[in-house]
Amino acid sequence: MKTCEIIQHYLCWFPAHLGVIEESPLNLNESAHAAARDLTLRSSPRHGVTVVPENRNSPSTYNEVTKYYLLNRRIYGLPHPKLNRAQALTLRLLQTGTYPCPRRLNIFYPETYTEPYCMDCGDLATLEHVLCSCERIEDPAIKDASRWEAALRSPDLDDQFWAVQQAHDVAVRLGLSVPTWERPA
């Protein structure tokens, strides 16, 4: 049997947020807490020193910080307010790449949508294919993928409506189940 040497260890425990305790080792929890409060610009002034934030518009509350990061990560704009609910839904589905297409519908509903192929050219009918890559599409503006991307990112009503209208026309032609809406006169 091996013998073990027992080494004595000491653990110094500090209850949370008690402040500085006289005649005790440095409370690292309080140091970390003070540093974190300094970073949020919410710390109380120490010893009469007034902290002036460099940028008064910087987010300071949890809600402001999360909203700031959410808005900075946003790639696509919101649907224009003049789009109706179904059109706005169509735009959001296009922006997220989840608008119904034969390939995706075949995966989800193989009994109803038996063919994942384009009925015009026989290629796999992905969303990109049915919207802008199919050889049946003759209009160069529709075939231009950068035009589609610009329309989906644009806050302009005309651009958004163009994308929604093109997608709706393709879905109707292919007989897909999509959000319905009335075309304005």
Residue 40 corresponds to which tokens in the numbers above?
């949020």
- Do 109 and 136 belong together in one domain? yes
- Do 107 and 37 belong together in one domain? no
pTM over 0.85: no
Of 138, 125, 128, 124, nearest to 175 (Cα)?
125
Of 105, 122, 112, nearest to 171 (Cα)?
105
Q: Is residue 141 part of a domain?
A: yes
- Do 126 and 104 belong together in one domain? yes
- Do 66 and 101 belong together in one domain? no
Q: Would you list the DSSP string of 4-15?
A: ------------
Phi, psi angles (nearest 5°) of residue 31:
-65, -45
Rounded Cα distance, 102 and 176, in Å: 8
Q: Which residues contact 118 (CB under 8 A, 6 or more apart)?
A: 102, 124, 125, 129, 130, 134, 136
Q: Is residue 115 part of a domain?
A: yes
- Do 67 and 117 belong together in one domain? no
At 23-68, the pLDDT tens digits run: 766 767 777 777 777 777 655 555 445 555 555 677 788 998 898 8
Q: Is residue 2 part of a domain?
A: no
23's enclosing H/E stretch is none
Rounded Cα distance, 139 and 83, in Å: 24
- Do 89 and 156 belong together in one domain? yes
Q: Is residue 135 part of a domain?
A: yes
Rounded Cα distance, 127 and 113, in Å: 15
Mean pLDDT by 10 residues, the chain (185 residues): 78 65 70 77 54 64 88 87 92 92 92 89 89 85 86 92 91 82 57
